[in-house]
Amino acid sequence: MIRTIRQEEVRQSLELTQAAFAIRFSESDIEQRLPKLKMDQYLGYFVDGQLAAQLEILPLTIYVQGEKIAMGGIASVSSYPELRRQGMVGKLLVRSLAEMRERGQTVSMLNPFAYGFYRKYGWEYFSVQSLYTLELGAAPKYPTASGAVKRLRAEGWTEADRVYDNYAKRYNGMLRRDENWWLNHVFRRKLGSLAVYYAAGSGEPTGYMLYDIKDRHLNMHELVYLDLESRNGLWQFIRNHDSVVSRLKFTAPADEAFLFGMAEPKLQHELHSNFMFRVVDAAAFVKQYRFAGSAQGSVLQVSLVDEHAEWNNGVWEVSVSADGRAEAALLAGEASASGTISCSIQTLGAMLIGCQRPSQLADHGYLDGSAEAVAAWEQAIPRRISYMTDFF
């Protein structure tokens, strides 16, 4: 049986979490966790009345093309080791799609233990991000900024959030954070210090960084800036740590032009896949999505295959208005062979979230269609890449 885990079954959930992830909570840990766990967000697979597998659907919001979109964050996926490989987690994932659709969560994200496993259920990798490691002496020497950097405590999250929210809208998939997320997720996971850059003249916060220093290594959990002045000011602040720091590390989106700022670009540059993304309800998501508008509007077609959410299957006609708003209608008859692309739900998600362009997906055989049909989708999808600085 699959159903929502009841509040009185919370200890069963914690016992499963400990067994699945090989961790041990003390009784005091359990007592602290009990009132915080919202069991109405948990789906459980029960065998003979006992909890055997579970997952959590976090009610989150992300930015996609600058619009706020309700997203179901899949977390706490677990089952007892002795009951694995019986399809329980797969059935929970399929059930979660119907649950998220009913809640109006048109898309979903998760952090996978294995990409191949979740691909079977319609999720696809979400983004590629850069991890830079370099000696502090090789860091860019940008022009001196005239603003000021102030170190704040966690209570100053609102100052950082003013910067973060403007930055988040530049990418697809960034979370919309609230006070609870800042205090109980960001600052708990990214231990260290908060430094905020304030612009000269206006005094407005335009950049910030979350970082810690250990053994002469500076690890930047988040480095966020809105303009060149705040970039210059934060890097000036970083370089001023030369008495206690010799090496630094930070993560950046794939479009970060960091190498151009270095006199000698000698560093370690790694690319990492990050998170997975899925379209839960294609028609509803398209209605929320902001396409690239045109004076005359446009009509797109896609033949979509989704093995685990039958409501997404079929040939869809997407009518895009001049302002980029769209409606998707399921076609009853034959699609236009020359004007239709064909793809899986994974491929549709990858191109709408900005992880891959339609032309790239077509070149590698993940998307079928005429050159004209692919070009129409290429033109309709704005060039905004996927990126996220959070973890759940």
Express each pLDDT in 336-365 by its tens digit: 666 899 999 999 999 999 999 999 999 999
Say if residue 37 is in the same domain as residue 168: no
Residue 256: burial class (beta carbons within 10 Å; 0-12, 13-18, 19+): middle
State the residue range of the domain holding 217. Answer: 130-274
* pLDDT at residue 238 greater than cutoff 90: yes
Say if residue 269 is in the same domain as residue 289: no
Return all residues near 128 (Cβ < 8 A) that are at least 6 apart. 254, 271, 272, 273, 274, 355
Q: Span 182-207, mean pLDDT?
A: 96
Q: Span 58-62, mean pLDDT?
A: 98
Say if residue 15 is in the same domain as residue 98: yes
Say if residue 93 is in the same domain as residue 202: no
With contact defined as beta carbons under 8 Å apart, do 313 and 304 qualify? yes
Return all residues near 354 (Cβ < 8 A) that are at least 6 apart. 171, 172, 173, 381, 383, 384, 385, 386
Q: Which two tokens stand for residue 126?
A: 């979400």
| Separation of alpha carbons 78 and 92, rounded Å | 10
Q: Which two tokens stand for residue 33?
A: 């966790």
Domain boundary among 239, 274, 309: 274
Number of domains in the chain: 3
Domain boundary among 274, 309, 324: 274
Which pLDDT score is estimated for 333?
A: 66
Q: Span 235-242, mean pLDDT?
A: 97
Angle (CA) 56 57 58, round 5°: 110
Please state the pTM of the whole predicted model: 0.94
188, part of any domain: yes
116, part of any domain: no
At residue 186 the predicted structure's pLDDT band, cuts being 50, 70 and 90, is: very high
Say if residue 239 is in the same domain as residue 301: no
Which pLDDT score is estimated for 337?
A: 60
Q: Span 144-153, mean pLDDT?
A: 96
Choice between 296 and 153, residue whose per-residue pLDDT is larger: 153
With contact defined as beta carbons under 8 Å apart, do 29 and 68 qualify? no
Angle (CA) 182 186 188, round 5°: 110
* pLDDT at residue 150 greater than cutoff 80: yes
75, part of any domain: yes
Say if residue 313 is in the same domain as residue 238: no
Which pLDDT score is estimated for 161?
A: 98
Instruction: Kindly report the CATH number assigned to the domain that includes residue 288.
Output: 3.30.1050.10
Which pLDDT score is estimated for 336?
A: 63
Say if residue 244 is in the same domain as residue 375: no
Choice between 25 and 280, residue whose per-residue pLDDT is larger: 280
Say if residue 245 is in the same domain as residue 343: no
Which pLDDT score is estimated for 367?
A: 97
Q: Span 124-153, mean pLDDT?
A: 96
Question: How confident is the prediction for the chain on average, in pLDDT?
Answer: 95
Instruction: Kindly report the CATH number assigned to the domain that includes residue 230.
Output: 3.40.630.30
Each residue of 214-232: pLDDT tens digit? Answer: 999 999 999 999 999 999 9
Note the Cα 351 to chain centre separation in Å.
Answer: 14
